[in-house]
């Protein structure tokens, strides 16, 4: 077991039953109410592990929401706040998020606003949540097609990372998290990228030390810039385009997982980096190869591509009416706040046709 502090959260990595969670609950929350926030997947596959093996959660209330990004809405938040109110939760009771990125983002948002903020812990169960969503205090929900448009920075007291939960995931979910792992390596660690690009994630189990490496890259970046005034924007690589794709498809019958959308975004934003001569053609080809070998990329048409700029205008990095991207100036080296002409963005988007 290992642990460290990320901003205001203690992050504990290890088997959940051996992390001292029961003792901590007993020492600090024995007399308090607890609620476990799950979606329909984690209700079925993860909640039994928690209830059966962690003392102190036998009487916890369970709040379940439907799984799927289309449910990351204010309406669902409102229904959770109503349930907390009916159960007479106070701000000193405990809100436990058990799930992937959506549950951590949304549960963090819900708990941070309820009665001006109640105690919260995260138990991330997806690779994406372990290496990304649970670290760094970003919480949020979507507003229509705009991803994480409403949110606050708020820090859980504890984040418990137990990679055994990855065994409950379908391969599609592992691949979603892989996109964020590739992103971390591309913006910050060339050697780690070399290891990842030569790995076949579809047929192998990801080593624990790579998961730790990835979350430590995120940890180090957010510690240096908690509120994203500068360096943290590195973590947005692949997301300006990725969020726009996800947003256009949200609520359609062809909606796209976040990780897969980010994979498309990485490809397009690597292409922008290449068009601006920040990447060599060999570097771009390495990235293209690692994306296409793992992700089943979709082909889009001109009509779809023409819809993306409208959503990109709401990108949280946007300033002075200009498109600003995090790009690569080499593998392992991200560069923030690069102003890019719309024509270059359009040229790069052609890789999606
Ligand atoms: N997921 C990007 C960040 O936390 O900054």
Residue spans per domain, the chain: 2-168, 187-198+227-352
* 2-168 against 187-198+227-352: fold identical: no
Q: Is 132 in the pocket of ligand 1 (CB under 6 A)?
A: yes
How many other CB atoms are found less than 10 A from the CB of residue 151?
A: 18
Architecture of the domain spanning 2-168 = 3-Layer(aba) Sandwich (3.40)
- The pTM assigned to this predicted structure is 0.95
| Cα torsion 72, 324, 189, 298: sign | positive
Identify which of 138, 186, 259 to mutate to test ligand 1's pocket (most ligand atoms within 8 A of the CB): 138
Mean pLDDT of 121-138: 97
pLDDT band at 253 (very low <50, low <70, confident <90, very high): confident
Domain 187-198+227-352: CATH class, spelled out: mainly alpha
**For the residues 254-277, what does the mean pLDDT come to?**
97
* SS3 label, residue 198: coil
232 noted as active-site residue: yes
Phi-psi region of 144 (alpha: psi -120 to 50; beta: other; left: phi over 0): left
> Ligand 1 in contact with 136 (CB < 6 A)?
yes
282 is an active site residue? no
Residue 251 above 90 pLDDT? no
Going by alpha carbons, the residue nearest to atom 5 of ligand 1 is 235
pLDDT of 191: 98
- Tens of pLDDT, residues 113-125: 999 999 999 999 9
- Is the CB–ligand 1 distance for residue 232 below 6 Å? yes
Q: Which two tokens stand for residue 122?
A: 């995260």
User: Which pLDDT does position 85 carry in this prediction?
Assistant: 98
Give the contacts of 146 (CB within 8 A, at least 6 positions apart).
247, 311, 314
């Amino acid at each position: 077991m290992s642990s460290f502090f990320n901003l205001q959260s203690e992050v504990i990595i290890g088997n959940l039953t051996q992390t001292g969670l029961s003792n901590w609950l007993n020492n600090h929350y024995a007399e308090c109410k607890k609620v476990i926030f799950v979606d329909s997947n984690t209700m079925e596959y993860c909640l039994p592990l928690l209830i059966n093996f962690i003392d102190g959660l036998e009487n916890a209330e369970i709040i379940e929401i439907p799984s799927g990004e289309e449910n990351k809405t204010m309406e669902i938040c409102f229904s959770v706040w109503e349930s907390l109110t009916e159960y007479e939760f106070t701000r000193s009771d405990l809100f436990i998020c058990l799930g992937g990125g959506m549950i951590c983002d949304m549960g963090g948002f819900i708990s941070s606003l309820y009665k001006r903020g109640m105690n919260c812990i995260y138990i991330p169960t997806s690779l994406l949540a372990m290496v990304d969503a649970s670290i760094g205090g970003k919480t949020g929900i979507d507003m229509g097609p705009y991803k994480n448009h409403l949110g606050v920075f708020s820090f859980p007291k504890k984040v418990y990372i137990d990679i055994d939960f990855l065994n409950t995931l379908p391969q599609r979910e592992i691949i979603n998290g892989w996109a964020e792992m590739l992103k971390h390596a591309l913006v910050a660690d060339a050697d780690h990228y070399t290891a990842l690009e030569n790995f076949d994630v579809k047929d192998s189990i990801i080593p624990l030390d790579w998961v730790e490496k990835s979350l430590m890259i995120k940890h180090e970046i957010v510690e240096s810039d908690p509120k994203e005034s500068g360096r943290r924007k590195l973590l947005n690589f692949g997301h300006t385009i990725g969020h726009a794709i996800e947003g256009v498809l949200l609520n359609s019958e062809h909606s796209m997982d976040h990780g897969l959308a980010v994979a498309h975004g990485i490809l397009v934003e690597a292409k922008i980096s290449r068009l601006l001569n920040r990447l060599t053609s060999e570097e771009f080809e390495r990235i293209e190869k690692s994306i296409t070998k793992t992700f089943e990329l979709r082909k889009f048409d001109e009509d779809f591509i023409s819809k993306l700029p409208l959503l990109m205008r709401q990108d949280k990095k946007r300033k002075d009416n200009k498109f600003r991207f995090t790009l690569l100036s080499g593998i392992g080296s991200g560069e923030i706040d690069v102003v890019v002409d719309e024509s270059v963005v359009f040229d790069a988007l052609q890789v999606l046709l």
